[in-house]
Amino acid sequence: MYAQMVKTGVDRIQSSEEMSPEERAFQERIDADIKIEPKEWMPEAYRKTLIRQISQHAHSEIIGMQPEGNWITRAPTLERKAILLAKVQDEAGHGLYLYCAAETLGVSRDELMEQLNSGKAKYSSIFNYPTLTWADIGAIGWLVDGAAIMNQVPLQRCSYGPYSRAMIRICKEESFHQRQGYDIMMKLARGTPEQKQMAQDALNRWWWPSLMMFGPSDADSVHSAQSMKWKIKINSNDELRQKFVDQTVPQAEYLGLTVPDPDLRWNAERGHYDFGAVDWEEFYQVIAGNGPCNRQRLRTRVKAYEEGRWVREAAEAYAAKKAARAQAKAA
């Protein structure tokens, strides 16, 4: 997902008897679906886990602009270019909503930026894959945003007020992203044989990385169990992945494209698709920094930050000059 394998710092789940009165009251509020707001008391582990989760999510939105930004100048029509520009601008906006939500937990924007630019912070594995053809822009909207929506819709109900409100805003805007992606895929799938082949090639390359977005099975993970108890994670990784496969396979069939998984078949008994094993070794390599584009993504990010420095400094100097003038006038 946009936040993957978020650690909670706990090694087991506390029972109600072991909790302090404050912790117990806190858990009871969460159980009663009462939102937790910034200034209220919260366990330190809850606060830290949320900062990790929300900032990872924000960093993913910011880095996520790069694979798509790659095609803004090469979009096939002016309309497609305008749409892609709007989508990438939305990703920046989503990053900003989320940074604000993270800041309400007591971390500063500069700290978050520094964590991202120094390579210390994680972001989603998916954005370390290259966008080789225009069809990749279609596949990203359809599959990557599709997978993101699957996770973000339930997070609208998460226990932390500012995160929940950011998710509500993001979900409202995200559905355009998936539709524009599928629209690109439809156009290609109905085009010349070469165009259809391009769409198939994009599906081949993005299918497995999209399934990896949900993260490895967390059925036995104490971190996931704790996060679910806190209601900052709503569904298990396997649950969401299955839901994504069930939703996406018919969409691929409609396009006349083949999902690159020989083990994929409908299981009438389960009422779900069975699918093949994900290559988790590849996933661990990508999150360890060895994906196809990790270094390039970080380099581009730092370059943008450095090249924007004079703009930030000019804006600060201008604000300081204006404030000084206003003060002189008042005196």
Partner 1 sequence: MTDRKEWPLWEVFIRSQHGLAHRHVGSLHAPDAEMAIKNARDVYTRRNEGVSIWVVKASDIAASSPGEKGPLFDPANSKVYRHPTFYEIPEELGHM
Of 90 and 274, CB closest to partner 1? 90
Least Å from the CB of residue 131 to partner 1: 23
Is the Cβ of residue 28 or residue 40 nearer to partner 1 in the bound state? 40
Structure tokens at 76: 């096939």
- Nearest to 199, CA basis, from 258, 262, 239: 258
Nearer to partner 1, 173 or 239 (CB): 173
Which residues contribute to the site for partner 1 (CB under 8 A)? 37, 39-41, 86, 89-90, 93, 96-97, 100, 103, 108-111, 113-114, 117-118, 165-166, 169, 173, 305, 312-313, 315-316, 318-319, 322-323
Neighbours of 187 (CB within 10 A): 15
Q: Which of 13/320 has CB closer to partner 1?
A: 320
**Burial environment of residue 320 by CB neighbours within 10 A (0 to 12, 13 to 18, 19 or more):** exposed
Distance CA 321, CA 26 (A): 47
Beta carbon nearer to partner 1, 103 or 136: 103
Structure tokens, 192: 């010349």
Question: Which structure tokens are listed for 129?
Answer: 């894959």
Looking at beta carbons, which pairs linking 305-308 to residues 24 or more positions away fall under 8 Å? 305/113, 305/117
Q: Which is nearer to partner 1, 19 or 113 (CB)?
A: 113
CB closer to partner 1 out of 114 and 279: 114
Of 253 and 313, which CB lies nearer to partner 1 in the complex structure? 313
CA distance 57 to 154: 15
> At its nearest, how many Å lie between partner 1 and the CB of residue 318?
7
Question: d(Cα 105, Cα 139) in Å, to the nearest integer?
Answer: 35
Q: What are phi and psi of 273, to 5 degrees?
A: -80, 135
100 vs 153, beta carbon nearer partner 1: 100
C-beta of residue 166 within 8 angstroms of C-beta of residue 98: yes
Q: What is the closest distance, in whole angstroms, from the C-beta atom of residue 320 to partner 1 in the complex?
A: 8
CB of 93 to partner 1, least distance (A): 5
DSSP 3-state of 265: strand
Work out the burial of residue 212: count CB atoms within 10 Å of its CB; fewer than 13 is exposed, 13-18 middle, 19 or more buried: buried
- What the block records as the tokens of 103 is 């800041």
Least distance to partner 1 from the beta carbon of 305, Å? 8
Smallest distance, partner 1 to C-beta of residue 95, A: 10
* Token pair recorded at residue 181: 């992606």
What minimum distance in Å lies between the beta carbon of 184 and partner 1?
21
Reading the block at residue 104, the tokens are 């309400």
| Least distance to partner 1, CB of residue 109, Å | 6
What residue has token string 């000019």? 314
Q: How far is the CB of 39 from partner 1 (least distance, A)?
A: 5
